[in-house]
Protein backbone atom coordinates (compact mmCIF):
# COMPACT_ATOMS: atom_id res chain seq x y z
CA UNK A 1 0.00 0.00 0.00
CA UNK A 2 1.19 3.45 -0.81
CA UNK A 3 0.99 6.15 1.83
CA UNK A 4 -0.18 9.37 0.21
CA UNK A 5 2.42 12.07 0.28
CA UNK A 6 0.33 14.50 2.29
CA UNK A 7 -0.09 11.87 5.02
CA UNK A 8 3.63 11.24 5.14
CA UNK A 9 4.16 14.93 5.42
CA UNK A 10 1.70 15.15 8.29
CA UNK A 11 3.37 12.25 10.08
CA UNK A 12 6.75 13.88 9.70
CA UNK A 13 5.30 17.10 10.93
CA UNK A 14 3.80 15.47 13.98
CA UNK A 15 7.03 13.64 14.75
CA UNK A 16 8.95 16.82 14.44
CA UNK A 17 6.50 18.91 16.43
CA UNK A 18 7.67 17.40 19.68
CA UNK A 19 10.99 19.07 19.32
CA UNK A 20 9.70 22.40 18.17
CA UNK A 21 6.60 23.33 20.10
CA UNK A 22 8.25 26.40 21.44
CA UNK A 23 8.93 27.67 17.94
CA UNK A 24 5.42 27.42 16.58
CA UNK A 25 4.02 30.51 14.97
CA UNK A 26 0.29 30.94 14.43
CA UNK A 27 0.50 31.63 10.68
CA UNK A 28 -1.30 29.23 8.41
CA UNK A 29 -0.43 28.70 4.77
CA UNK A 30 -2.23 27.44 1.72
CA UNK A 31 -1.62 23.96 0.34
CA UNK A 32 2.17 23.67 0.19
CA UNK A 33 3.96 22.80 -3.05
CA UNK A 34 4.44 19.12 -3.87
CA UNK A 35 7.97 17.91 -3.18
CA UNK A 36 10.10 18.19 -6.30
CA UNK A 37 13.68 18.31 -7.40
CA UNK A 38 15.23 20.02 -10.37
CA UNK A 39 12.88 23.02 -10.22
CA UNK A 40 13.64 26.54 -11.41
CA UNK A 41 14.06 29.00 -8.56
CA UNK A 42 15.18 32.49 -7.76
CA UNK A 43 14.97 35.13 -5.06
CA UNK A 44 14.16 38.76 -5.77
CA UNK A 45 15.62 41.44 -3.49
CA UNK A 46 15.77 38.90 -0.66
CA UNK A 47 12.03 39.57 -0.36
CA UNK A 48 10.42 36.78 -2.34
CA UNK A 49 11.57 33.26 -3.14
CA UNK A 50 10.02 31.73 -6.28
CA UNK A 51 9.94 28.08 -7.30
CA UNK A 52 8.48 26.71 -10.53
CA UNK A 53 8.08 23.24 -12.03
CA UNK A 54 10.37 20.33 -11.25
CA UNK A 55 10.23 16.56 -11.17
CA UNK A 56 7.82 15.14 -8.62
CA UNK A 57 9.33 12.99 -5.92
CA UNK A 58 6.74 10.56 -4.66
CA UNK A 59 8.84 8.02 -2.80
CA UNK A 60 12.20 6.31 -3.29
CA UNK A 61 13.31 7.16 -6.79
CA UNK A 62 12.20 10.18 -8.74
CA UNK A 63 9.00 9.94 -10.74
CA UNK A 64 8.97 10.80 -14.40
CA UNK A 65 6.25 13.41 -13.94
CA UNK A 66 7.01 17.06 -14.20
CA UNK A 67 4.85 19.54 -12.37
CA UNK A 68 3.90 23.04 -13.47
CA UNK A 69 3.39 24.27 -9.90
CA UNK A 70 4.41 27.85 -9.29
CA UNK A 71 4.79 29.22 -5.77
CA UNK A 72 6.24 32.17 -3.97
CA UNK A 73 7.43 32.40 -0.40
CA UNK A 74 7.28 35.79 1.28
CA UNK A 75 10.60 36.28 3.05
CA UNK A 76 9.60 39.61 4.58
CA UNK A 77 7.09 38.18 7.04
CA UNK A 78 8.57 38.76 10.47
CA UNK A 79 7.77 35.28 11.71
CA UNK A 80 6.94 32.05 10.01
CA UNK A 81 7.54 28.45 10.85
CA UNK A 82 9.40 26.03 8.65
CA UNK A 83 6.64 23.48 9.30
CA UNK A 84 4.09 25.81 7.83
CA UNK A 85 5.82 28.26 5.52
CA UNK A 86 3.68 30.99 3.98
CA UNK A 87 3.80 29.47 0.50
CA UNK A 88 1.53 31.19 -1.98
CA UNK A 89 0.37 29.31 -5.08
CA UNK A 90 0.54 31.44 -8.20
CA UNK A 91 -1.14 30.91 -11.51
CA UNK A 92 -0.31 31.63 -15.10
CA UNK A 93 -2.14 31.75 -18.40
CA UNK A 94 -3.67 28.42 -19.41
CA UNK A 95 -1.60 28.45 -22.60
CA UNK A 96 1.58 28.35 -20.56
CA UNK A 97 0.58 25.49 -18.26
CA UNK A 98 1.46 22.58 -20.59
CA UNK A 99 4.77 24.20 -21.48
CA UNK A 100 5.56 25.09 -17.90
CA UNK A 101 5.29 21.46 -16.84
CA UNK A 102 9.02 21.02 -17.00
CA UNK A 103 12.19 20.41 -14.99
CA UNK A 104 15.90 21.06 -15.15
CA UNK A 105 15.22 24.66 -16.20
CA UNK A 106 16.36 27.90 -14.61
CA UNK A 107 15.47 31.51 -13.85
CA UNK A 108 17.44 34.70 -14.29
CA UNK A 109 16.51 37.87 -12.42
CA UNK A 110 15.36 40.93 -14.40
CA UNK A 111 17.93 43.72 -14.46
CA UNK A 112 15.57 46.03 -12.55
CA UNK A 113 14.48 43.23 -10.17
CA UNK A 114 10.91 43.54 -11.41
CA UNK A 115 10.66 39.81 -11.98
CA UNK A 116 12.48 37.02 -13.75
CA UNK A 117 12.94 35.20 -17.03
CA UNK A 118 12.38 31.45 -17.08
CA UNK A 119 14.57 29.43 -19.46
CA UNK A 120 12.83 26.17 -20.29
CA UNK A 121 13.68 23.13 -22.33
CA UNK A 122 11.74 23.12 -25.59
CA UNK A 123 13.31 26.54 -26.22
CA UNK A 124 10.53 28.42 -24.54
CA UNK A 125 11.53 31.57 -22.70
CA UNK A 126 8.90 33.23 -20.52
CA UNK A 127 9.08 36.33 -18.37
CA UNK A 128 7.25 37.00 -15.14
CA UNK A 129 6.53 40.45 -13.72
CA UNK A 130 5.90 40.53 -9.99
CA UNK A 131 4.09 43.88 -9.84
CA UNK A 132 1.46 42.99 -12.41
CA UNK A 133 1.55 39.23 -11.66
CA UNK A 134 1.70 38.65 -15.40
CA UNK A 135 3.59 36.47 -17.85
CA UNK A 136 4.99 37.22 -21.26
CA UNK A 137 6.90 35.20 -23.77
CA UNK A 138 10.13 36.07 -25.50
CA UNK A 139 9.68 35.80 -29.25
CA UNK A 140 11.14 34.58 -31.42
CA UNK A 141 12.24 31.69 -29.22
CA UNK A 142 16.03 31.34 -29.34
CA UNK A 143 17.19 28.77 -31.91
CA UNK A 144 17.90 25.28 -30.58
CA UNK A 145 21.49 25.59 -31.81
CA UNK A 146 22.03 28.37 -29.27
CA UNK A 147 19.69 27.36 -26.48
CA UNK A 148 18.89 23.95 -25.04
CA UNK A 149 17.14 24.64 -21.80
CA UNK A 150 17.86 21.59 -19.67
CA UNK A 151 20.27 21.35 -16.77
CA UNK A 152 21.89 24.69 -17.19
CA UNK A 153 21.76 27.85 -15.13
CA UNK A 154 21.06 31.26 -16.63
CA UNK A 155 22.29 34.34 -14.75
CA UNK A 156 22.03 38.08 -15.34
CA UNK A 157 24.86 40.58 -15.41
CA UNK A 158 23.01 43.41 -13.64
CA UNK A 159 25.42 46.00 -15.02
CA UNK A 160 24.40 45.26 -18.63
CA UNK A 161 21.16 43.28 -18.36
CA UNK A 162 22.68 40.54 -20.50
CA UNK A 163 21.87 36.96 -19.51
CA UNK A 164 24.63 34.36 -19.76
CA UNK A 165 23.91 30.65 -20.21
CA UNK A 166 26.95 28.34 -20.02
CA UNK A 167 26.56 25.14 -22.03
CA UNK A 168 23.35 26.37 -23.66
CA UNK A 169 24.43 25.64 -27.21
CA UNK A 170 24.55 21.97 -26.29
CA UNK A 171 28.28 21.57 -26.57
CA UNK A 172 30.01 21.49 -23.19
CA UNK A 173 32.26 24.48 -23.67
CA UNK A 174 29.86 26.83 -25.38
CA UNK A 175 28.22 29.77 -23.70
CA UNK A 176 25.25 31.71 -25.02
CA UNK A 177 24.32 35.26 -24.19
CA UNK A 178 20.87 36.81 -24.44
CA UNK A 179 20.14 40.47 -25.02
CA UNK A 180 16.55 41.70 -24.92
CA UNK A 181 17.26 43.86 -27.96
CA UNK A 182 19.27 41.51 -30.16
CA UNK A 183 18.25 38.06 -28.93
CA UNK A 184 20.47 35.03 -28.38
CA UNK A 185 24.01 34.72 -29.67
CA UNK A 186 27.17 32.86 -28.81
CA UNK A 187 29.42 34.38 -26.19
CA UNK A 188 33.06 33.75 -25.33
CA UNK A 189 33.45 29.96 -25.21
CA UNK A 190 34.52 28.30 -21.98
CA UNK A 191 38.13 27.12 -22.40
CA UNK A 192 38.01 23.29 -22.49
CA UNK A 193 41.27 23.04 -20.56
CA UNK A 194 39.69 25.01 -17.74
CA UNK A 195 36.06 23.98 -17.52
CA UNK A 196 35.24 20.48 -18.66
CA UNK A 197 31.56 19.96 -17.95
CA UNK A 198 28.51 21.78 -19.19
CA UNK A 199 25.55 20.80 -17.02
CA UNK A 200 24.42 20.54 -13.39
CA UNK A 201 26.74 23.36 -12.38
CA UNK A 202 26.09 26.46 -10.24
CA UNK A 203 26.51 29.92 -11.72
CA UNK A 204 26.02 33.21 -9.85
CA UNK A 205 26.81 36.88 -10.34
CA UNK A 206 29.29 38.36 -7.89
CA UNK A 207 28.39 41.97 -7.28
CA UNK A 208 31.70 42.62 -5.57
CA UNK A 209 33.97 41.04 -8.21
CA UNK A 210 31.71 41.97 -11.15
CA UNK A 211 32.14 38.47 -12.49
CA UNK A 212 30.11 35.27 -12.70
CA UNK A 213 31.30 32.48 -10.44
CA UNK A 214 30.96 28.99 -11.90
CA UNK A 215 31.19 25.86 -9.76
CA UNK A 216 30.92 22.21 -10.69
CA UNK A 217 32.57 22.30 -14.07
CA UNK A 218 35.76 20.36 -13.66
CA UNK A 219 36.35 17.45 -11.30
CA UNK A 220 39.99 17.17 -12.32
CA UNK A 221 41.26 20.46 -10.94
CA UNK A 222 41.96 20.93 -7.21
CA UNK A 223 40.10 24.22 -7.34
CA UNK A 224 36.63 23.64 -8.83
CA UNK A 225 35.77 27.36 -9.14
CA UNK A 226 35.95 29.41 -12.31
CA UNK A 227 35.12 32.95 -13.06
CA UNK A 228 33.85 34.77 -16.13
CA UNK A 229 34.32 38.50 -16.47
CA UNK A 230 31.90 39.95 -19.04
CA UNK A 231 33.84 43.21 -19.21
CA UNK A 232 37.12 41.41 -19.90
CA UNK A 233 35.37 38.73 -21.98
CA UNK A 234 37.47 36.14 -20.23
CA UNK A 235 37.27 32.91 -18.23
CA UNK A 236 39.83 32.30 -15.49
CA UNK A 237 40.34 30.01 -12.54
CA UNK A 238 38.84 31.75 -9.49
CA UNK A 239 41.46 32.70 -6.90
CA UNK A 240 41.03 31.19 -3.44
CA UNK A 241 42.83 32.45 -0.34
CA UNK A 242 42.96 30.39 2.85
CA UNK A 243 43.13 26.65 3.25
CA UNK A 244 39.50 25.60 2.74
CA UNK A 245 38.53 24.65 -0.81
CA UNK A 246 35.07 23.13 -1.19
CA UNK A 247 35.46 19.90 -3.15
CA UNK A 248 33.91 19.39 -6.59
CA UNK A 249 30.19 18.61 -6.61
CA UNK A 250 27.38 18.91 -9.10
CA UNK A 251 23.68 19.64 -8.48
CA UNK A 252 24.61 21.96 -5.61
CA UNK A 253 23.15 25.38 -5.00
CA UNK A 254 25.12 28.59 -4.77
CA UNK A 255 23.61 31.93 -3.79
CA UNK A 256 24.87 35.41 -3.10
CA UNK A 257 24.19 37.11 0.25
CA UNK A 258 24.97 40.22 2.26
CA UNK A 259 25.00 42.61 -0.64
CA UNK A 260 27.29 40.27 -2.54
CA UNK A 261 29.97 40.12 0.14
CA UNK A 262 29.22 36.46 0.85
CA UNK A 263 28.50 33.50 -1.39
CA UNK A 264 26.90 30.39 0.07
CA UNK A 265 27.40 26.95 -1.42
CA UNK A 266 25.38 23.95 -0.26
CA UNK A 267 24.92 20.25 -1.00
CA UNK A 268 25.25 18.33 -4.24
CA UNK A 269 26.84 15.06 -5.25
CA UNK A 270 29.13 13.62 -7.88
CA UNK A 271 28.38 10.71 -10.19
CA UNK A 272 30.19 8.37 -7.81
CA UNK A 273 29.52 9.90 -4.41
CA UNK A 274 26.38 10.53 -2.39
CA UNK A 275 24.67 13.83 -1.63
CA UNK A 276 26.39 15.96 0.99
CA UNK A 277 25.07 18.31 3.68
CA UNK A 278 27.96 20.71 3.69
CA UNK A 279 27.48 24.46 3.69
CA UNK A 280 30.40 26.68 2.76
CA UNK A 281 30.56 30.45 2.85
CA UNK A 282 32.92 32.52 0.76
CA UNK A 283 33.89 35.88 2.13
CA UNK A 284 34.16 37.65 -1.20
CA UNK A 285 36.40 40.59 -0.22
CA UNK A 286 39.06 38.20 1.17
CA UNK A 287 38.22 35.15 -1.03
CA UNK A 288 38.42 32.88 2.01
CA UNK A 289 36.03 29.92 2.26
CA UNK A 290 34.75 28.66 5.58
CA UNK A 291 32.85 25.45 6.18
CA UNK A 292 29.98 26.47 8.37
CA UNK A 293 27.74 23.62 9.19
CA UNK A 294 27.66 19.89 8.83
CA UNK A 295 24.26 19.24 10.32
CA UNK A 296 21.88 20.38 7.65
CA UNK A 297 20.33 17.62 5.56
CA UNK A 298 22.20 16.09 2.64
CA UNK A 299 20.54 16.72 -0.69
CA UNK A 300 20.95 17.50 -4.38
CA UNK A 301 19.03 19.41 -7.04
CA UNK A 302 17.22 21.51 -4.43
CA UNK A 303 16.19 25.17 -4.43
CA UNK A 304 17.97 27.68 -2.20
CA UNK A 305 17.33 31.21 -1.07
CA UNK A 306 18.80 33.84 1.20
CA UNK A 307 17.21 36.57 3.23
CA UNK A 308 19.48 38.44 5.56
CA UNK A 309 21.16 35.99 7.91
CA UNK A 310 18.88 33.19 6.85
CA UNK A 311 19.67 30.55 4.31
CA UNK A 312 16.71 28.51 3.13
CA UNK A 313 16.80 25.17 1.33
CA UNK A 314 13.74 23.47 -0.11
CA UNK A 315 13.10 20.25 -2.04
CA UNK A 316 15.59 17.98 -3.76
CA UNK A 317 16.59 14.41 -2.99
CA UNK A 318 19.35 12.41 -1.38
CA UNK A 319 21.40 10.49 -3.83
CA UNK A 320 23.20 7.27 -3.02
CA UNK A 321 24.90 5.92 -6.15
CA UNK A 322 23.53 2.51 -7.05
CA UNK A 323 20.42 2.96 -4.91
CA UNK A 324 17.08 4.68 -5.45
CA UNK A 325 17.16 8.37 -4.73
CA UNK A 326 15.46 9.22 -1.44
CA UNK A 327 13.14 12.20 -1.17
CA UNK A 328 14.41 15.07 0.92
CA UNK A 329 12.14 16.28 3.69
CA UNK A 330 9.35 18.53 2.42
CA UNK A 331 10.03 20.84 5.35
CA UNK A 332 12.36 23.64 4.31
CA UNK A 333 15.74 23.68 5.97
CA UNK A 334 16.59 26.92 7.55
CA UNK A 335 20.02 27.83 8.70
CA UNK A 336 20.91 31.10 10.32
CA UNK A 337 24.42 31.29 9.20
CA UNK A 338 25.79 34.33 10.91
CA UNK A 339 24.85 36.63 13.74
CA UNK A 340 25.98 39.97 12.58
CA UNK A 341 25.70 43.62 13.23
CA UNK A 342 26.04 44.45 9.56
CA UNK A 343 25.18 47.95 8.49
CA UNK A 344 22.39 46.81 6.23
CA UNK A 345 19.13 47.54 8.03
CA UNK A 346 16.92 45.83 5.52
CA UNK A 347 18.43 42.47 6.30
CA UNK A 348 19.05 42.99 9.96
CA UNK A 349 15.44 43.77 10.64
CA UNK A 350 14.44 40.37 9.38
CA UNK A 351 17.41 38.63 10.84
CA UNK A 352 16.55 39.76 14.34
CA UNK A 353 13.00 38.58 14.15
CA UNK A 354 13.59 35.17 12.67
CA UNK A 355 16.90 33.98 14.03
CA UNK A 356 15.05 31.69 16.42
CA UNK A 357 14.31 29.38 13.53
CA UNK A 358 17.88 28.15 13.40
CA UNK A 359 18.28 24.46 13.70
CA UNK A 360 18.47 21.07 12.21
CA UNK A 361 15.19 20.04 10.68
CA UNK A 362 14.90 16.34 10.18
Ligand X SMILES: *[C@@H]1O[C@H](CO)[C@@H](O)[C@H](O)[C@H]1NC(C)=O
Interface contacts to ligand X, rule CB under 6 A:
64-66, 102-104, 121-122, 150, 207-208, 259-260, 343-344
- For the CB of residue 277, give the shortest distance to ligand X in the complex, in Å: 27
Could you tell me the smallest distance in angstroms from the CB atom of residue 102 to ligand X?
4
List the one residue out of 94, 98, 95, 84 whose CA is nearest residue 53. Answer: 98
User: 184 near 177, Cβ under 8 Å?
Assistant: yes
Closer Cβ to ligand X, 29 or 101, answer by number: 101
CA 35 to chain CA mean position, Å: 15
Is the Cβ of residue 64 or residue 243 nearer to ligand X in the bound state? 64
Measured from the CB atom, the residue of 118 and 296 that comes closer to ligand X is: 118
State which residue, 116 or 119, has the beta carbon closest to ligand X.
119
CB of 220 to ligand X, least distance (A): 28
CA dihedral (310, 54, 164, 108) positive or negative? negative
Nearer to ligand X, 240 or 344 (CB): 344
Buried b / exposed e across 211-249, counting CB within 10 Å, b at 16+? bbbbbbbbeeeeebbbbbbbeeeebebbebeeeeebebb
Please state, in angstroms and rounded to a whole number, the distance separating the CA atoms of residues 193 and 139: 35
- Of 12 and 210, the one with the shorter C-beta distance to ligand X is 210
For the CB of residue 213, give the shortest distance to ligand X in the complex, in Å.
15
Residue nearest ligand X, Cβ-based: 121
In angstroms, what is the minimal distance from the CB of 193 to ligand X?
A: 30
Determine which helix (DSSP H) or strand (DSSP E) holds 115, and give its type and residue range: strand 115-119
Q: Are 150 and 198 in contact (CB under 8 A)?
A: no
Please, what is the minimum distance in Å from the beta carbon of residue 208 to ligand X?
A: 6
SS3 content of the chain, % helix, strand, coil (to 5): 10, 35, 55
Amino acid sequence: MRVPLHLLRQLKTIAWLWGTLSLLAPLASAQPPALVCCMAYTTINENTFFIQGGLLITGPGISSSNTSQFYSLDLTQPTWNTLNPPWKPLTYPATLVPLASTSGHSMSVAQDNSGFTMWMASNLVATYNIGSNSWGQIVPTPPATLFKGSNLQAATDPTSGLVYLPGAAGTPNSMSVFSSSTGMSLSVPMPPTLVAAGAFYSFVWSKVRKTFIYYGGNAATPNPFFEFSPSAGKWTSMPIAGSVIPPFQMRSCMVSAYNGTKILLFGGNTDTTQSVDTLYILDVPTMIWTQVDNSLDARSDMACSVSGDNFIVWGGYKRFPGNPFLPASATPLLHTWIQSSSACNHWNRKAQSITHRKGRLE
